[in-house]
Amino acid sequence: MTLTIGIIGSGLVGKAVAHLATAAGYNVVISNSRGPDSLAGLITELGSRARAGTVDEAIAAADIVSLAIPLANFETLPADKLVGKVVIDQTNYYPGIGDFRRADLDNGELTSSELVQKHLWGSKVVKGIHNIGWIHMQHNARPVGDAERTTLPIAGDDRDAKDAVARFIEAVGYNVVDAGSLEDSWRIEPNTPIYFWPYAPAIAPSLSDAEAKKVYQQPGTPIAPEKARQLIRKAERPSPIGGTLEGMPPIHIALFLELASANTLKK
């Protein structure tokens, strides 16, 4: 039976997950806050394995639900509809962006994924596909056995849910290592050794902006599973907790702003 991935969020991350999933033979139901009609162009791009739906429809159809939304929006998720569902938490805590800030996250009382699990009380949350940028999420994917195949971490409290998410990630192009429980997931959050930077290529400072953008869209150096485990083990809890724009490659921010501006002009 072909599994269905329900995606909540159709931004850059949601689109990347949808492309990976359909390319790997999964069915996709993707949703956003603007309604299915706003996704007509994306569905044409994705092909016959994808359809648009409401958030409730994406959840109901899904074998696995992908949260491709800002962490700040977690309380908008319908917890009652997600009971029993396996949920991939792709959110990250960036307290310097927007107005979303919580003392329990800043103090390390909870990881961001524990916060999501607390809200989604009846679901099975697995942290994953959150530590790689949307560009490299697609460009770095490789089939099993490819020398350039890299590794992504997951964390969660439910063994079967972690196995299901691991199978999905492996199918779309990545090796997977287990980083532990949701309590342990700080080891793979922003500003830790396995977050973002290892998956992006180095950019020589002598390159022009156009050249840098071209190079940046190439894969980074592949991470073998054992190397990924080493990066996770050596992680120290960041202080302060949470990601920052300053902690991201400048070329990534430039590309994000360029795409955001282009999307704004289309509306």
What's residue 83's pLDDT? 98
The model's pLDDT over 217-251, given as tens digits with 9 standing for 90+, comes to 888 899 999 999 999 999 999 999 999 887 788 88
> Above 70 in pLDDT, residue 260?
no
What's residue 263's pLDDT? 53
> Above 60 in pLDDT, residue 261?
no
Secondary structure of the chain in the HEC alphabet?
A: CCCEEEEECCCHHHHHHHHHHHHCCCEEEEECCCCHHHHHHHHHHHCCCEEECCHHHHHHHCCEEEECCCHHHHHHCCHHHHCCCEEEECCCCCCCCCCCCCHHHHCCCCCHHHHHHHHCCCCEEEEECCCCCHHHHHHCCCCCCCCCCCEEEEEECCHHHHHHHHHHHHHHCCEEEECCCCHHHHHHCCCCCCCCHHHCCCCCCCCCHHHHHHHHCCCCCCCCHHHHHHHHHCCCCCCCCCCCHHHCCHHHHHHHHHHHHHHHHHC
Quote the percentage of the chain above a pLDDT of 70: 97
What's residue 87's pLDDT? 98
- What average pLDDT is seen over the chain? 93
pTM score, whole prediction = 0.94
What's residue 264's pLDDT? 43
Specify the higher pLDDT residue, 118 or 97: 118
What's residue 250's pLDDT? 81
> Above 50 in pLDDT, residue 267?
no
The model's pLDDT over 154-208, given as tens digits with 9 standing for 90+, comes to 999 999 999 999 999 999 999 999 999 999 999 999 999 999 999 999 888 898 8
Q: Which CATH number fits domain 70-266: 3.30.465, 3.40.50, 1.10.1740, 1.10.520?
A: 3.40.50
